[in-house]
Amino acid sequence: MNTQIKFTLNGSPVMVEAPGEISLLRLLRDHLNLTGTKEGCAIGECGACSVLLDGRVVNSCLVLAPQVNGREVVTIEGLGQQDGAHSASDLQAAFVKYGAVQCGYCTPGLVIAGEALLRSNPMPTRAEIIDGIAGNLCRCTGYQQIVDAIEQTALQRAERTQQHAAAKVQE
Amino acid sequence: MLRHTTHWVTKPANRVDGPDKANGKAKYAGDYRVPGQLATRALRSPIPHARILRIDTSAALKVPGVLAVITSDDFVDHGRFGFPVADNFILAYQKVRYVGEGIAIVAAVDAEAAEAGVRAIELDLEALPVIEDMEQALLPDAPIIPDVVTEGSKHGQPNICLTQIVRNGDPEPIIDASPVQLDQTYATPFQEHAYLEPEAVLSIPNPDGSVIIYACDQSPFNNRGVAAAVLGLPQDKVRVIQAIVGGSFGGKDEVVYQMSAQTAKLALLTNRPVSMVFSREESIMVSYKRDASQIRIRLGADRDGTLQAARVEAWLDGGAYSAETVLTAWRAAMHLAGAYKYQAVKGDVHVLYTNNNYSSAFRGFGNTEAVACIEQAIDEIAEQVEIDPIDLRLKNIIGKGDQTMTGATLNQEVGLRACLEWVRQKSDWDRKRREFPLQNKGRRYQKGIGVACYFHGMGLGGEGTDFANATVAIERDNSVTLTNGLTDYGTGARTVFTLIAADVLGARPERIKVLLTDTETAIDSGPTVASRASVVGGNATRVAVEKIAQLLTFAAANLLQCAPAQILRDKEAFIGPDEEPVDFDTVVNHARKLGYVLSAHGRWQLPVIHWDFAKGTGTPYVGYTFGAAIVEVTVHSGTGRVQADRIWAAHDIGKVLFPEGAYGQLYGGITQGLGYGLMEEVEFNHGYIHNVNFDDYIIPTAMDVPPIEATFIEAPFHLGPYGAKNVAEPSMLGVAPALANAVYHATGKRIRELPLTPERVLLGHALHNDDHGDNSRQWLGYGKGLGNVRVI
C-alpha cells in the first residue's frame, strides 16, 4: 500500500509516494535515488545508514519511512555547503585530509555521526568523539584517523567562531 | 630516470577517491540503477550436506514477475570452477556441502516476485552425514565431501585436500636432544571478513550477446576468466568492470565470481540488466571465511634460549570447497616457525574438507594463523629458560645473510631488530614486565604486557608469476590517464599509482586519473592479492610513465635547443641550461608537434624464484616485510574480560610512499588483529553459522580500539618502487599473539585458543552457543516453512 510522505530533505521539501512499511533507508535509496546512504546490516548495528533526523543521528534502516512526515532529514549528499555549486563540508574535507577514508562504505555514516556530535558538542574530547562514533562500524581504518578528522574539524570551527567574535568586537 | 628527490611520493597526499567517498557520490555495485533492472533471489541449501535428488523450476517460472530461473545445468561443465583445485560450482551440482550454498537463482521484476519464485521451486534433498569439524573429517568412515580425487585419497584420507610442506633438515633428533623442549597445540578461529559493503553485482547484456559485469571483486581478470568459461563465451564477450569496492581483505573473490556468473547468465537469458545484492546475513552465511586452524608446535632450544629446531604440523579447516586454502596452506607452511634462525625445520600443513561453509583468502593468508601460534610458543620457551621475551627474540631473529626457517638465505636489509627495539622502548616494556606482576597481587584488575614479532613473504612468491601491467596516456587537455591491472578495493593503490606517476612524469597529481580497473581497458595482471599492488603495480606504473617522461625530456631539449641530459626538472617545470623554466603544457604541446606518441605500456615482474612443492625446498619469496607489536591489557579476574589498553607497533615496510594510506593500513590491520585476538569467531553449530549479523558477530568499535602508537622502519628494499615493500597484510599479524602473551603475563593463564573471550580466560575453554543454528535457520526461512523444499 503506497502512502504519501512529505518531509524536508537536505533543505528542500519533497513529497513521495512509497509503500508505508519500508524503511527510511529504502525510501532514500530506492525511491529518491540518494545512494550515498549505505546499507551494512539492516538491523541498526553498523551505522552505515546514519542520517540526521531533526538534527539527531539515526539509523535510517530502523526508521519507518512514514515516520519522517513533516520532519527534516539530512543525508550525506546534503551536508556540503549549498552556496551555488555543491562543495564538501569542512568535516568531509577533513576526512579526506586526515586519511579517515579507505574503502569509503562506512564513511557517509561516520561523517553524519561526526557532524551530529559536533552540533551537540562543539569541542568534544577524544574520548567523547570515540563515544560519539561508537555506533558506527569501520572495518578498514581502526578509527584513529576518523577521530583525528573530527577533532581537527572541531578545532577549526572553534577558531573560526573566535575569529568571527573578534571581528564583531572590532566592528 | 628514477628521480632521487621526490615531490609527491612520500609526502602528505589526499586519497584520489577520498572526496567522492566522503561526499556520498562514490558508486558501489549496489548503487547502480539502470532501467529495466531485474532483482534476484537465491534458493539456498537449508542443510549442511545433502544429495540433490530433484530440482523442478517449472512452477517458479509461472510466478508472476519471474523471468528466469537458473541451476547448475545452465553452465558449461555444470559451472565447475576453482583454482588450484576445481572442486567448486557456480551453483550446487549433485550435492550441497554447506548451509546456504546456492542451488538456484530466480530473476524477477522485483525482489518480492523473485522471493515467491524461489519458494515455488521444487527441490528434493537427501540428507547426508555432516562433518562438523576436522576430527570428524579424518574418521575412517567419514563421508567423502569433495567430488575430486584428493592428494589425501592416496593415503586413505580423502577429506585431506592436500598437504603443503617445508623440509629444511631433520629437526626431530635435534629437538629430542635439546635441554629445553616445547610441544603444544594452538588453535585459531574462523574469521569473517566483515567488509562493510555486502557483496553486490550488476550484469548488463549487450545486443551482440556479450555482457558487462559491474562487480565488487578484488580481481576482475580472474572473475572474467571464470565467467567466460562457465558461460561458454570467449573472453572478449565478457567485460568486467570493478565498481568502487567497499572493503575486501581477501574476501571478494570466489563468492563474487559466483554472483557474477549467475547474474551474467540471467542477463543473457532475459536480455535485461540483473542485479544481485546480498544482505548481511546472506553475506556471512554464503561468503568464505578465514580457515580455522590447529597447529602443533614442537621446539627445541638451548638453556641460553638459542632456538635449535622446529617441527610444526598444522590442520586447516578448509570447509566444503578448497578455494584458495590450498595456497593459504602454502604460505602458512613458509612461516610456521616464525622469523627465527634454526638448524632444522620441518612443517606440514594439511587442508581438510568439512561442511563448515568454506575457507579462502583473508588478510595474512595463512601467516596470520601461523604467527598467532608460533609467537605464543616462543613466549613459552622464553618462560622455560627465564629470559625476557624480547631478549629471547632478539637473540634468535633472522638478519641479513641468515637462513630463514625454510633454509633460504635472506639477501635484503632487515628492520626486525629495530622494530623490536622501538616497541620495547616506546612501551616502557622492561619496567612494566617487572612491575605488573607485583602490582597485580590480590587485585581484581590485572595488568599484563605482551609482545610478538613476525616476517611476511612479499607478493605471490612460489605461488606464481608475479607481474603487473600499466598504461599511461596524455590526453588532449594534457591530463594523464593511467590504467593498472591491479586494483584498489579500498587499499589506496590508485593513490599510490597516482603519486608514482606524478613524480616520474613531473606532473601534478591533480592532472592524473587512475581508471577503475576494467578488463576492456586495463591489461591482465593476475589477481590483486598478496599485498602486491604497491610494489608490482607501482613498478609497472613507473615503467610505463618513464617512457613518456623520456619523450617529454626529448621534446624539452628540442624546444630549448640543448641535450636531453641538460634538462633538469622541478615539479612541472623543465629547466634547460639557460635556467629558463618551461611548463609542462608547453613541453607536451611541443612533443605533439614533433609527432611523439604520448601513450605507453609498462610491464614489471618480480624476479622468478623457484619453490619445489613436492620436496618442500627452494626459495619461497623474493623478500620479506617485518614487524613487531606490543599490547598492554587489563584483565578482570572476576569476569575474564580482556581490555586492550594500548598498542605499540613498528613495521619494516620499506619506503613509505603514501603516509596517510600506510598508517591507515597499519591502524586498520591492527584493529582486525585485535578483533581476531579478542572477540571474532564464526561459530558453527552442526554446520550452521550462529552469528550471521553484527549483533552476534562482533567486530571492534571505536570504543574497543585503544590508543595505537606506531611507526614505520623504512629499511630500503632494492626491488620496490622508491624502496617500498608492502603493508596491507602484515599489519595485522602481531596483535593476536601479543594479546595472548599479555593475558598470560596478567593472569598466568596460557589459553592457546583464540579468540580470548571471557569464557576462555575465566574457564580455559569456550562456551559454545549450541542453538542448532537458529539464526541461520531463521534466515533460511525455517520459521515460515521451506517452500517446496523436501528433505528426505
pLDDT for B3 equals 44
Give the CA diameter of chain B: 89
Give the chain A residue whose CA is nearest to the CA of B697: A45
- Per-residue pLDDT of B311-327, as tens digits, reads 999 999 999 999 999 99
Q: Right CATH number for B367-459+623-756 from 3.30.365.10, 1.10.3720.10, 3.30.70.330, 3.40.50.300?
A: 3.30.365.10
Of B20, B695, B702, the CB nearest to A133: B702
Cβ neighbors of B465 (< 8 A, separation 6 or more) are B526, B605, B608
What number is the average pLDDT over the span A60-78?
97
Q: Are residues B91 and B72 in contact, defined by beta-carbon separation less than 8 angstroms?
A: yes
Residues of A in contact with B27 (CB under 8 A): 35
Q: Do B702 and A143 touch (CB under 8 A)?
A: yes
Residue B656 has pLDDT above 60, yes or no: yes
What does the alpha-carbon distance between residue B789 and residue B792 come to, in Å, rounded to a whole number? 10
Residues of B within 8 A of A33 (CB-CB) are 33
Cα–Cα dist B196/B198, whole Å: 6
List the single range of B330-334, B351-355, B773-777 with lowest mean pLDDT: B773-777
d(CA B729, CA B255): 21
B18-25+467-605 matches B367-459+623-756 in fold: yes
CA distance B32 to chain A (A): 9
Q: What is the DSSP letter of B167?
A: E
The answer to whether B317 and B311 are in contact (CB under 8 A) is no
Does residue B82 register a pLDDT over 70? yes
CATH architecture group of domain B35-128+199-277+774-791: Alpha-Beta Complex (3.90)
For B575, the grid coordinates are: 629547466
pLDDT at B772: 73
Mean pLDDT of A41-45: 98
Task: Give DSSP secondary structure letters for B647-702.
Answer: EEEEEE-BS-SSHHHHHHHHHHHHHHHHHHHHT----EETTEES--STTTS----T
Task: Inform me whether the pLDDT recorded for B742 exceeds 70.
Answer: yes
A104·B22 Cβ contact <8 A: yes
- Reported as type and span, the H/E element at residue B213 is strand B211-215
CB-CB under 8 Å, B280 with A96: no
Residue B257 grid coordinates: 565470481
Q: Looking at the partner chain, which of A43, A88, A136 has a beta carbon nearest the beta carbon of B23?
A: A88
| Chain B residues lying within 8 Å of A42, measured CB to CB | 279-280
- The strands making up B102-108's β-sheet, listed across from edge to edge, are B39-44, B102-108, B66-70
The structural architecture, per CATH, of the domain B18-25+467-605 is 2-Layer Sandwich (3.30)
Cis peptide before B234 (omega within 30 of 0): no
Neighbours of B153 (CB within 10 A): 15
Cβ neighbours for B46, distance < 8 A, ≥ 6 positions apart: B99, B125, B777, B780, B781, B782, B786, B789, B791
In which band, very low, low, confident or very high, does the pLDDT at A81 lie, cut at 50, 70 and 90?
low
Mean pLDDT (chain B) is 96
Give the ipTM.
0.97
Mean pLDDT, residues A125-140 taken together: 98
Which residues from B are below 8 Å from A138, CB to CB? 196, 702
Residue contact A140–B668, C-beta within 8 A:
yes
For residues B488 and B217, give the distance between their C-alpha atoms in angstroms, rounded to a whole number: 10
pLDDT higher than 90, residue B621: yes
The confidence score (pLDDT) of residue A86 equals 53
Residue to mutate among B11, B21, B648, B672, with most A CBs inside 10 A, is: B21
**Domain segments of chain B as ranges:** 18-25+467-605, 35-128+199-277+774-791, 367-459+623-756
Q: What is the pLDDT of residues A142-156, one digit of tens each?
A: 999 999 999 999 999
- pLDDT of B8-42, one tens digit each? 999 999 999 999 999 999 999 999 999 999 999 99
What is the rounded CA–CA span in Å between residue B177 and residue B160? Answer: 32
Say if B313 is an interface residue toward chain A (CB within 8 Å). Answer: no
User: How far apart are the C-alpha atoms of B469 and B544, rounded to whole Å?
Assistant: 9
Task: Rounding to the nearest 10 degrees, give the CA dihedral for residues A87, A91, A94, A100.
Answer: -110
Pairwise CA distance, residues B219 & B597, whole Å: 30
Tell me how far apart the alpha carbons of residues A100 and A88 are, in angstroms, rounded to a whole number: 15
- Yes or no, beta carbons of B705 and A143 under 8 Å apart: yes
Cβ density class B411-422: b for 16+ within 10 Å, e for less:
ebbbbbbbbbbb
Give the mean pLDDT of B179-199.
98
Which of B246-260, B706-720, B735-749 shows the lowest mean pLDDT across its residues? B706-720
Q: For residues A104-133, b (16+ Cβ closer than 10 Å) or e, as one string?
A: bbbbbbbbbbbbbbbeeeeebeeeebbebb
- Classify B50 in phi/psi space as left (phi over 0), alpha (psi -120 to 50) or beta: beta
Single out the residue of B223, B321, B259 nearest to residue B42, CA to CA: B259
Q: Which residues of A touch B26 (CB under 8 A)?
A: 104
With the C-alpha atoms ordered B142, B148, B152, B156, is the resulting torsion angle positive or negative?
Answer: positive
Distance CA A62, CA B341 (A): 56
Query: Which residues of chain A make contact with B197, given a CB cutoff of 8 A?
Result: 38, 40, 103, 105
Peptide bond before residue B721 is cis, with ω within 30 degrees of 0? no
- The domains found in chain A, sorted by start residue, are 2-78 (3.10.20.30), 90-170 (1.10.150.120)
Helix (H) or strand (E) segment spanning residue B39: strand B39-44
Q: What integer pLDDT is reported at residue B555 of this predicted model?
A: 98
B544 touches chain A (CB under 8 A): no
Contacts for B89 with CB less than 8 Å, ≥ 6 apart: B72, B78, B79, B80, B81
B28: contact with A, CB 8 A cutoff:
yes
**Residue in A with minimal Cα distance to B664:** A141
Between B396 and B780, name the one with better pLDDT: B396
The single residue listed with the C-alpha cell 635439546 is: B178
Q: If you measure CA to CA, which chain A residue comes closest to B281? A: A41
CB B299 within 8 A of CB B790: no
pLDDT of residue A169: 86
| Residue B516 clears pLDDT 90, i.e. is over it | yes
Could B693 and A147 be called an inter-chain contact, meaning their C-beta atoms sit closer than 8 Å? Answer: no
What is the C-alpha separation between B240 and B203, in angstroms, rounded?
9
Q: What average pLDDT score do residues B624-643 get?
A: 97
| CB distance B748 to B756 below 8 Å | no
Residue B4 has pLDDT above 80, yes or no: no
* Pairs of residues, one from chain A and one from chain B, whose beta carbons lie less than 8 Å apart: 176
